[in-house]
Amino acid sequence: MGVIAIEDIAYVRFSAPDLGEMRAFLDEFGLSAYEHADGRLYARGRDGSPFLHITERGEPRFIGLGLRARSPGDLHTLAHSEHIPVEALSAPGGGQCIRLTDPDGFGVEVVAGQEFLAAEASRTVVNPMNTSDGRRRVNQVIRTEPGPSRVERIGHCGLGVLNFQRSERWYKDRFGLLTSDEVEAPSGVPVAAFLRCDAGQHPVDHHTLVLCQVTKRPRLLHAAFEVANFDDLMVGHDHLERRRRRHVWGVGRHVLGSQIFDYWRDPWGHDVEHWTDGDAFTSTDPPGKATLAQMLGVQWGPALRAAPGVDRSSS
């Protein structure tokens, strides 16, 4: 049990030397980027959240992530436990936050009370699929529109950490995260975990946070953004290819989490993922055990050319 049970991931934070270049990439990726009076670049999706991605001017780096508390009361409970103040959040949408630093130096902001916008209707109409066992779409055609994917929301973040078990304990103790799958090295030592929020009997994503043992330096492995469906993911894939953006991995279907994925790289080398059709679990689903091959493998699609910093020598 954590001090609180967070509701979800809220956003990821970066710095970059050229906000205009970052804005161009985010728009092509399918986020709606806008500059704020505070000098930062914010980008939102279609779920009504005031932002999912923040970039401030500076040397290129990943700064940290934001997590959403269920209520201002939970936020104050966590602040009391950590002996830190609750601050007013000056970003779009307002609200309150507390600022923590995890064992690897990543900033972790916990927010509550943000003002959401009305969620936008998805561009992509989800039509019934015709299959060999039934024709569910009759007298209708499918016509996709060219352009970027339409990012709906942020789904999860993957972090490479120097001491997996220390980091896992830090996040679980504070935020009530549950293990969906624990990944073991061939020696049987845990080296990674897929962690999800605890929302009782309300289904949540298979993972909100992925922690993975690395050997050299802590780093962002990827930030993942959900799109409407497979068609929307592929439309966005074609758009980014036409824009000559750097493709990393995909399209395929993961083993752990089951989502259809497509990874791209921003102008400063950070990996960002489009995904759709992931697994969902309630709090009663027990944790699973997995191998490194399962973590890095695919059910279909191209194999990963280089593992993202996993310490295969753990013993």
- Residue range 8-33, pLDDT digits in tens: 999 999 999 999 999 999 999 999 99
Residue 314 has pLDDT above 80, yes or no: no
pLDDT at position 27 is 98
- Residue range 219-258, pLDDT digits in tens: 999 999 999 999 999 999 999 999 999 999 999 999 999 9
d(CA 128, CA 154): 25
Q: What are the residue ranges spanned by the domains of the chain? A: 8-118+149-300
Averaged pLDDT, 73-85: 97
pTM: 0.94
Residue 67 has pLDDT above 90, yes or no: yes
Res. 143 pLDDT band, cuts 50 70 90: confident
Question: Which CATH superfamily, name and number, covers 8-118+149-300?
Answer: 2,3-Dihydroxybiphenyl 1,2-Dioxygenase, domain 1 (3.10.180.10)
Range of lowest pLDDT (135-144, 255-264, 280-289): 135-144
Q: Which residue has the higher pLDDT, 241 or 216?
A: 241
Res. 1 pLDDT band, cuts 50 70 90: confident
Q: State the Rg of the chain over Cα.
A: 19
pLDDT at position 307 is 54
Evaluate whether 308 touches 212 at the Cβ level (below 8 Å): yes
Between the CA of residue 30 and those of 110, 114, 166, 257, what are the distances in Å?
A: 25, 22, 35, 22
Per-residue DSSP letters for 260-285?
EEEEEE-TTS-EEEEEES--EE-TTS
- Letter string b/e over residues 6-23, b meaning 16 or more CB atoms within 10 A of that residue's CB: bbbbbbbbbbbeebeebb
Residue 309 has pLDDT above 50, yes or no: no
d(CA 166, CA 178): 15
Res. 123 pLDDT band, cuts 50 70 90: low
